[in-house]
Amino acid sequence: MKRRRHLLKLAYAKKRIKEKRLARNQEEKANVYSYKCGNRNIKLTVQKTEVIKPSELLSQVFYYQCVFCGKDFDTQTQACPDCQKPLTRVNLKKCPQCGAKNNPLKQNCWICNAAFPKLELATEKETQLFLTLNVDGVFYRNTDPSLSLSLKKLFEDLITAGFSKEPLEAWVKAQEGALEYKKESLREECKILAQESKQSNLVYIILAVLSIGIIFLLFKVFWSG
- Environment class of 12 (CB within 10 Å of its CB; exposed 0-12, middle 13-18, buried 19+): exposed
> Do 102 and 140 share a domain, yes or no?
no
The last residue of a domain, from among 120, 144, 168: 120
Answer yes or no: is 1 within a domain. no
pLDDT confidence tier of residue 103, bands split at 50, 70 and 90: confident
Answer yes or no: is 86 within a domain. yes
Alpha carbons 158 and 146: distance in angstroms, whole number: 19
> Do 159 and 189 share a domain, yes or no?
yes
On the question of pLDDT at 224 being above 70, the answer is: no
Average pLDDT, the chain: 76
Q: Across residues 163-188, what is the average pLDDT?
A: 81
> Do 153 and 42 share a domain, yes or no?
yes
On the question of pLDDT at 209 being above 80, the answer is: no
> Do 74 and 116 share a domain, yes or no?
yes
Alpha carbons 89 and 189: distance in angstroms, whole number: 57
pLDDT confidence tier of residue 188, bands split at 50, 70 and 90: confident
Boundaries of domain holding 142: 28-52+125-225
pLDDT of residue 22: 55
> Do 191 and 129 share a domain, yes or no?
yes
Answer yes or no: is 93 within a domain. yes
- Among 35-44, 46-55, 110-119, which stretch is predicted with the lowest mean pLDDT? 46-55
